[in-house]
């Protein structure tokens, strides 16, 4: 095809339709008629058909590669491709005539002799993403629109702007200064292939998807996850797109920071920890774009932050993909896993130093901990039993169990004295270990004559039960057998051996100087009622102390007080043993000796020893 004698230069950012329009005007034709005369269609140039662009390059002498680079190549059902980037139909303003007044003025000034064909259309003017000129920083002017979305009406650029060039050059237009937003600067650099000035993280996403991502990220950042961009006007959409672009240009860490802040702002109360709740519009859009593999890096970043920040299990899914493993626990999730109330669990975690000052104002749902700090603790809590359950498991009454606790033989995992707990908690493993230690002390297969249950042995030896148990656990007894009809803790020992071990352990130790009512009865053969009568009438001084054997509080009488009373008073039976029955009857018949203490008819009477001596 023969090259025309009248041509125009092709500018770096000029669209093929603008170049064709200027070339046609230079040759005295409109663009549509010019193309028909040259043997191709103007619509083919507008849609970037390879053959039409090649023929246009042939007749104009323009670089065919430059024409293809600036063409909006139609992709069936997918919008257009521009410089290797996808442009969706909604973002292409090919039915609008938009210009930068400063660019038009510069074009005319550069070719004053061809001022009518000098202005050319930049590719950025046909993208809705640009609202200001990235070169001059002024707002783009809309000079007209095609009727019924007919692109050809606006494609003949020279004839579309010709009526306005005079006013623009004369400055008779509303020129508004508007600095390019970060989004416009990014897109300008990306379309020009300025890789050093763009974001590798954002560049990996197709351009039209990247723009939409920035719009949504910015909208969620500004208005929250429930925002709907369809309800926002163009000015606000441009503003939020710039906000989102700033976030995305910061790379992966900047986006992750946005994700963390969004989750924190949306996590105000309990409820399902789903992506829809925290990210709303962003989550829905990323799910709808599930076939866009380039967005996987965004989805993966959200999934990782959800796993790191929220107390979700390994089965929790984000974008239909499980997180893989649990990264953190909350007070509530730990309590659920251990089958207890959150308030009780918070007490336990606080006692172990996991609840810090920064957690004080947070609810149980939002108080979280790394899994490595809590995982061992959870296994212990799952096996923890209450004090009553521990006593039932060991088959031991409360008094003995508490005695073992005071002796340190059974140690609670959580003590009620530790942080104001309602009750003590014990680990099943600790209880099993205690029973194992007991079983290791058994030296005989069966009980032999003279052996008694260990509690009875401690009682006979007037020694604290827990102290005898400690000696047993330390291997202090050689004769130990399982007690046939007792609990898991019931063992038989030889009381004689127990007494000998106690004597060797504390050779200079005095016995407990007090006697209980039962011990007084065994020693004096008085009934318990007589002893209580003597105590209540003040004849026997007493005190209320803790019995070291039973660990219970009881009324006791000092041995010296009982001995002093026995030296002063004597019963008839005891006097008969000391003086003889015949002699005692003679004294009583003479009526010389009268009872000094008698509480009622039929009760034991006490006599003064001095009266018998005088008689």
Annotate 275-294 with b (16+ C-beta within 10 A) or e (fewer): beebbbbbbebbeebeeeee
Same domain, 300 and 223: yes
Looking at the fold, whether 35 and 144 belong to one and the same domain comes out as: yes
The verdict on 490 and 525 lying in the same domain is no
* 602 C-beta neighbours (distance < 10 Å), count: 7
Sign, CA torsion 312/318/320/321: negative
C-alpha to C-alpha distance for 245 and 298, rounded to whole angstroms: 14
What length is written for the chain?
615
Q: Which residues pair with 85 in a beta bridge?
A: 82
The predicted pLDDT at position 183 comes to 93
One domain, residues 536 and 603:
yes
112 and 237 belong to one structural domain: no
Q: Say if residue 221 is in the same domain as residue 352.
A: no
139: helix, strand or coil: strand
Provide the token pair at 206: 């197709």
Q: Are residues 359 and 260 in the same domain?
A: no
On whether residue 33 sits in a domain, the answer given is yes
Cα torsion 503, 506, 507, 511: sign: negative
Last residue of a domain, one of 491, 511, 531: 511
Structure tokens at 253: 């860490």
Q: Among 272, 299, 322, where does a domain finish?
A: 322
Domain-embedded: residue 146: yes
Alpha helices in 364-478 (DSSP H): 371-382, 387-394, 398-407, 416-419, 428-439, 454-460, 465-473
End of a domain among 128, 161, 180?
Answer: 180
Given this model, what pLDDT does residue 506 score? Answer: 62
Q: Which strands sit side by side in the sheet containing 553-558, from one edge to the other?
A: 514-516, 553-558, 543-546
Question: What domain range is 579 assigned to?
Answer: 513-615
Cβ contact 394:404 at 8 Å? no
416 domain residue, yes or no: yes
- 149 within a domain of the structure (yes/no): yes
Residues 198 and 232 in one domain: yes
- Find residue 516's DSSP bridge partners: 556
470 and 522 part of one domain: no
Cβ contacts of 209 within 8 Å, gap of 6 or more = 86, 289, 292, 294, 295
Q: Which two tokens stand for residue 401?
A: 């169990």
**Which tokens is 521 given?**
């009865």
Is residue 28 in some structural domain?
A: yes
Q: How many domains does one find in the chain?
A: 5
Q: Is 0.85 topped by the overall pTM? A: no
Please, is 567 exposed, middle or buried when counting C-beta atoms within 10 Å of its C-beta (0-12, 13-18, 19+)? exposed
Angle subtended by helix axes 207-223 and 281-288, to nearest 10: 160
Do 27 and 172 fall into the same domain?
yes
In the chain (615 residues long), the average pLDDT of successive 10-residue segments reads: 87 93 92 92 91 94 93 83 87 86 93 84 93 94 71 78 90 90 92 70 90 94 89 90 93 92 78 78 92 92 88 84 84 82 79 74 79 82 87 91 90 73 81 93 91 89 87 92 86 91 67 82 85 89 82 86 91 85 80 82 81 79
**Coil, helix or strand for 436?**
helix
Q: Could you tell me if residue 77 is inside a domain?
A: yes
pLDDT value of residue 152: 62
Please give the C-alpha separations between residue 553 and each of 189, 388, 467, 550, in angstroms, as whole numbers.
89, 22, 18, 9
Res 549: pLDDT: 67
Tell whether 594 is covered by a domain.
yes
Helices assigned H by DSSP within 192-341:
200-203, 207-223, 234-249, 251-266, 275-279, 281-288, 296-309, 331-337
In a domain, 145, yes or no: yes
- pLDDT value at position 393? 93
161 and 107 in a common domain: yes
Residue 151 is predicted with a pLDDT of 59
Render 391-405 in DSSP notation, one character per residue.
HHHHT--HHHHHHHH
Strand-pairing partners, residue 144, are 97
Residue 110 and residue 139 in one domain: yes
């Amino acid at each position: 095809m023969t090259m025309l004698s009248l041509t125009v230069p092709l500018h770096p950012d000029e669209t093929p339709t603008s170049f064709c329009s200027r070339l046609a005007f230079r040759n005295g034709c409109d663009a549509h008629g010019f193309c028909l005369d040259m043997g191709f269609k103007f619509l083919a140039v507008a849609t970037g058909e390879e053959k039409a662009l090649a023929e246009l390059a042939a007749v104009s002498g323009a670089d065919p590669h430059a024409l293809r680079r600036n063409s909006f190549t139609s992709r069936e059902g997918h919008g257009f491709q521009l410089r290797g980037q996808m442009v969706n139909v909604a973002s292409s303003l090919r039915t609008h005539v938009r210009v930068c007044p400063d660019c038009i003025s510069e074009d005319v000034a550069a070719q004053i002799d061809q001022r009518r064909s000098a202005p050319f259309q930049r590719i950025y003017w046909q993208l809705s993403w640009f609202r200001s000129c990235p070169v001059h920083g002024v707002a783009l002017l809309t000079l007209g629109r095609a009727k019924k979305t007919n692109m050809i009406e606006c494609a003949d650029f020279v004839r579309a702007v010709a009526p306005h060039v005079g006013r623009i050059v004369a400055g008779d237009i509303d020129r508004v200064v508007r600095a390019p937003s970060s989004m416009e600067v990014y897109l300008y650099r990306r379309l020009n292939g300025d890789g050093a000035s763009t974001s590798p993280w954002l560049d990996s996403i197709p351009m039209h998807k990247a723009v939409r991502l920035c719009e949504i990220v910015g909208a969620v950042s500004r208005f929250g996850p429930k925002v709907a961009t369809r309800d926002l006007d163009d000015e606000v959409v441009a503003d939020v797109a710039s906000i989102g672009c700033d976030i995305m240009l910061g790379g992966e860490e900047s986006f992750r920071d946005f994700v963390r802040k969004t989750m924190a702002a949306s996590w105000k109360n309990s409820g399902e920890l789903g992506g829809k709740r925290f990210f709303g519009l962003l989550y829905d859009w990323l799910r709808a774009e599930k076939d866009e593999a380039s967005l996987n890096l965004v989805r993966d970043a959200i999934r990782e932050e959800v796993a790191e920040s929220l107390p979700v299990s390994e089965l929790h899914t984000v974008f239909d993909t499980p997180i893989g493993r649990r990264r953190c626990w909350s007070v509530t999730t730990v309590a659920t896993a251990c089958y207890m109330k959150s308030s009780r669990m918070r007490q336990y975690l606080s006692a172990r130093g996991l609840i810090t000052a920064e957690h004080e104002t947070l609810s149980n749902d939002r108080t979280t901990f790394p899994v490595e700090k809590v995982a061992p603790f959870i296994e212990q809590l799952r096996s923890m039993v209450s004090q009553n359950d521990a006593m039932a498991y060991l088959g031991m009454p409360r008094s003995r169990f508490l005695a073992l606790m005071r002796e340190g033989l059974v140690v609670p995992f959580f003590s009620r004295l530790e942080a104001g707990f309602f009750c003590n908690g014990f680990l099943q493993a600790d209880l099993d270990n205690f029973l194992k230690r007991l079983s290791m002390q058994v030296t005989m297969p069966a009980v032999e004559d003279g052996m008694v249950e260990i509690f009875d042995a401690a009682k006979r030896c007037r020694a604290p039960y827990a102290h005898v148990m400690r000696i047993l656990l330390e291997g202090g007894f050689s004769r130990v057998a399982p007690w046939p009809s007792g609990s898991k803790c019931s063992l038989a020992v030889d009381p004689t051996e127990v007494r000998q071990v106690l004597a060797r352990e504390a050779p200079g130790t005095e016995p407990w100087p007090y006697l209980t009512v039962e011990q007084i009865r065994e020693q004096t053969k008085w009934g318990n009622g007589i002893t209580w009568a003597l105590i209540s009438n003040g004849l026997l001084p007493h005190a209320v102390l803790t019995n070291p054997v039973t660990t219970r509080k009881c009324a006791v009488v000092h041995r010296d007080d009982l001995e002093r009373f026995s030296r002063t008073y004597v019963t008839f039976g005891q006097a008969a043993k000391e003086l003889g029955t015949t002699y005692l009857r003679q004294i009583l018949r003479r009526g010389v000796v009268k009872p000094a203490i008698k509480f009622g008819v039929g009760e034991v009477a006490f006599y003064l020893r001095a009266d018998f001596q005088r008689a």
